Structure 1
Amino acid sequence: MPIPSSFIIPDPIYICGPTASGKSAFAIELAQRLDGEIVNADAYQLYRGLEIISAAPDAAELSQAVHHLYGVLDPSETCDAMRYREMALPVIADIQSREKVPIVTGGSGMYLKFLTHGPSPVPSGDELLRAELDKESDAELVRRLSELDPEGAAMTNLKNRRYVIRALEICLLSGRKMSEVKSDWKKAGEAIEKDLRGAYLLWDRETLRQRINRRAEIMLDSGAIEEVAALIDTSITCEKAIGVPQIRSYLAGDLSRDECAERIAAATRQYAKRQRTWFGKESWLTECQVDASDPISRVVDRFCESSI
């Protein structure tokens, strides 16, 4: 059935931020106001059986708005940014076809980047080439990169062997300078970003740290240990979820419960730091300051007034 000429396709709204920043509550509030439907963009909330570990919306939250792409993958399945894009695009198109607003929420930066900007032109890794490069000394790797791509070498931490090898991989596999490939994607992205709308939820770092620490304790108290114990056939992707390796060590007797909670909290804090760095570079996002005394409805008010 053709779309009427008078039909206006609602643009997606993206809700981003670090772990424990309140993205789910923000998205629900926004969905209720805008007649929207929520689309998951968290790599681990895609999986069934990781609801506690991934802090997926609970039954009460799910009942407050229509949610998509939660618990749709078996733990044995692998997933990456490209597969996520292929899953999310038709869901978003369906929401738009019903004149609803897609509200995409999550903290997986690369998944969101592939969704908003399209696949990266950077070639994926090649194990054989990487093995060959790994035989060379640090000095030889730096010399080769500097000859192939002087601009790229200047952008790369040359003391980090892994970064240098990856930069060389891109040059050799693409037949182009790594700096040119990334520059082209950046320019294309800048054109796309003019039409993007989204919120980046910002907390005071100490407050967010406390929220993350509490979440680790609540996770263990709420059945995360039993959840991980029930995971049998899991993919590499699934095993990377924060909480899974730490709880496996606890179950093996290598960690006490307190040590397990602290390691989960520490890993989550490190991940939140990386998320802040990632989303802080996405200049198209509207920064939304949040604190414990600020009702989420007021934060959404401010976002709507400035961006919608």
Structure 2
Amino acid sequence: MNIIGRFSMSYLRLPYSPAQPPILHPSAFSSLIRRRHCHRRQLFSTFQCSASTKSKKEKIIVISGPTGAGKSRLALELAKKLNGEIISADSVQVYQGLDVGSAKPSTSERHEVPHHLVDILHPAEDYSAGTFYDDGRQAAKDILNRGRVPIVTGGTGLYLRWFIYGKPDVPKATPEISLEVESELGNFERNYDWDAAVQFVTKAGDPTAQSLPANDWYRLRRKLEIIKSSGLPPSAFPVPYDSFKGQVDSHSTDLGIDIPADGILDEKHKDLDYDFVCFFLSTSRLDLYRSIDFRCEDMISGNNGILSEARWLLDIGLQPNSNSATRAIGYRQAMEYLLNCENQGGRSSTRDFYAFLSEFQKASRNFAKRQLTWFRNEPIYHWIDASRPLTEVLDFIYHAYHDQTGKLAVPRSLAMSKDMSDRREIAQLKTYRTKRGVFVNQEDCSDILDWVSNNQRRNIELIVN
């Protein structure tokens, strides 16, 4: 039963809320205000002209969206249409063996269109936004050198932000410093004493260590490496995006007038080293949550679902929430569920299974909500309604890629509002309840419970033999 495929392809025509007309009008103000309004129009015209006459730069398409929005399928079809190659900006797809939970492109899809930064690491290794910047930029350069179009797609916001704007210029630790840090934090990690390790790094000079997710040893080590390499905390090194955003905000403030953000951004984007054409694919929050819930069920179904992959992570000695791979949504919950089953003699009750499923779905929905919030503050993205027919979206992005005017605008038929304005939808979200499509009744999870029991038996036999 492929509920996810059926659900994601059922395009919905959602109501569109047209942009509000201009609030201000010159005739309503004094001569001083009229002069300021005129100045505003002149500045905006200058920005548009600058955008349309900007020097030719190589183009890179970026497609993002919340989990389950259909961005991977869109990127695949767009790559076929534009002779492109895909660079995955997904923090889980980099790992070998984590296929189901990351919605990794299939082998046949990867044969159709080249994919980069997929299956490049063992799950025991860590991967960072800085490493993605280096790998992603090199992949994009290679694709462009082959005369093809780089299409970066994924939902990891920090990866994409650094890819577009650059990464902080923090010092790289020498092998000696890395060994020193490993020695100092190693005892804490072996003793599972996360709080003591955080206090150690805090006293070394970085109080922001206290805001790290529990057991994020990779980032904790990196913070201590930076302190030891430079004598400064990571926050002392400017982040390119923050500088970019700050310049945009201060430009409008310094002029003392309300300049349209798009105009200022067109001007500031000239400072970027590529011509990034960015899209954010989304749909109504209610439809998105329904899709995510069904998608989670689909990932659990069958003998080779996310539980099987989580079992493998445990078998190779990893623990939930211990590194990048095991913190990933779905894998963490599945690993914790399986460990709980082990503690109960290798068995699972129906109640335990449904508790795991609910937690998986809730974590996935919350992640999608965080993605929406993150990208709502990213002004470079054009928001597109994921419920529209794929052919319409493809045609628009295809023409947008070839546009030379610098005045890209999403048509009303495809536009997606960044903010929720429908009171009915807001009310429905407050009372949202999961509707299951696979595990509707208790007997529907009997195969999963049998799999848990049989799998545990095989592990015991392997240990004994």
**TM-score interval, normalised by the smaller of the two chains:** 0.7 to 0.9
The alignment partner of 1:275 has SS state of helix
Report the alpha carbon displacement of residue 297 of structure 1 after superposing the two structures with TM. Answer: 2.1
Q: Distance in 2 between matches of 1:59 and 1:270?
A: 30
Work out whether 1:296 is the aligned partner of 2:390.
yes
Work out whether 1:268 is the aligned partner of 2:364.
yes
Q: 1:138 maps to which residue?
A: none
Q: Distance in 2 between matches of 1:251 and 1:288?
A: 39
Deviations 1:150-199 (A, max 9, x none): xxxxxxxxxxx849xxxxxx9x9369989999753535794446932111
Work out whether 1:227 is the aligned partner of 2:309.
yes
- One-letter code aligned to 1:198: C
The alignment partner of 2:374 has SS state of helix
* Contact 1:286-1:307 at 8 Å conserved across structures: no
Q: Quote the sequence identity (%).
A: 32
Aligned counterpart in structure 1 of residue 232 of structure 2, from 169, 173, 178: 173
After superposition, residues 208-247 of structure 1 pair within 5 angstroms as: 208-222=288-302, 223-231=305-313, 232-234=316-318, 236-247=323-334
Q: Distance in 1 between matches of 2:116 and 2:234?
A: 40
Q: Distance in 2 between matches of 1:247 and 1:269?
A: 16
Q: Distance in 1 between matches of 2:99 and 2:233?
A: 39
Q: 1:27 maps to which residue?
A: 75
- Larger CA deviation: 10-19 vs 32-41: 10-19
Rg comparison, structure with higher value: 2
Report the alpha carbon displacement of residue 134 of structure 1 after superposing the two structures with TM. Answer: 9.8
Q: Distance in 2 between matches of 1:31 and 1:180?
A: 31
* Contact 1:45-1:54 at 8 Å conserved across structures: yes
- Larger CA deviation: 49-58 vs 228-237: 228-237
* Contact 2:88-2:118 at 8 Å conserved across structures: yes
Aligned counterpart in structure 1 of residue 135 of structure 2, from 82, 87, 99: 87
* Contact 2:326-2:332 at 8 Å conserved across structures: yes
The alignment partner of 1:267 has SS state of helix
Work out whether 1:78 is the aligned partner of 2:126.
yes
- One-letter code aligned to 2:310: V
Output the TM-score relative to the length of structure 1.
Answer: 0.76
Q: 1:256 maps to which residue?
A: 352
The answer for unaligned runs of 5 or more in structure 1 is 1-7, 136-140, 142-160, 164-169
- One-letter code aligned to 1:67: H
* Contact 1:10-1:99 at 8 Å conserved across structures: no
**Matched residues, number:** 270
Report the alpha carbon displacement of residue 122 of structure 1 after superposing the two structures with TM. Answer: 8.1
The alignment partner of 2:59 has SS state of coil
After superposition, residues 141-180 of structure 1 pair within 5 angstroms as: 162=211, 173=232
Report the alpha carbon displacement of residue 60 of structure 1 after superposing the two structures with TM. Answer: 3.6
Q: Distance in 2 between matches of 1:209 and 1:46?
A: 25
The alignment partner of 1:200 has SS state of strand
- One-letter code aligned to 2:94: L
Q: Distance in 2 between matches of 1:276 and 1:307?
A: 24
The alignment partner of 2:232 has SS state of helix
Q: Distance in 2 between matches of 1:25 and 1:180?
A: 32
- One-letter code aligned to 1:253: N
Work out whether 1:51 is the aligned partner of 2:145.
no
The answer for unaligned runs of 5 or more in structure 2 is 1-55, 173-197, 213-226, 249-267, 342-350, 403-465
Report the alpha carbon displacement of residue 283 of structure 1 after superposing the two structures with TM. Answer: 1.2
- CA change 1:98–1:307 in 2 (3 A) is closer
- CA change 1:87–1:208 in 2 (3 A) is same
- Larger CA deviation: 54-63 vs 85-94: 54-63
* Contact 1:40-1:106 at 8 Å conserved across structures: yes
* Contact 2:96-2:123 at 8 Å conserved across structures: yes
Select the structure with the greater relative contact order (CA < 8 A; seq sep ≥ 6).
Answer: 1
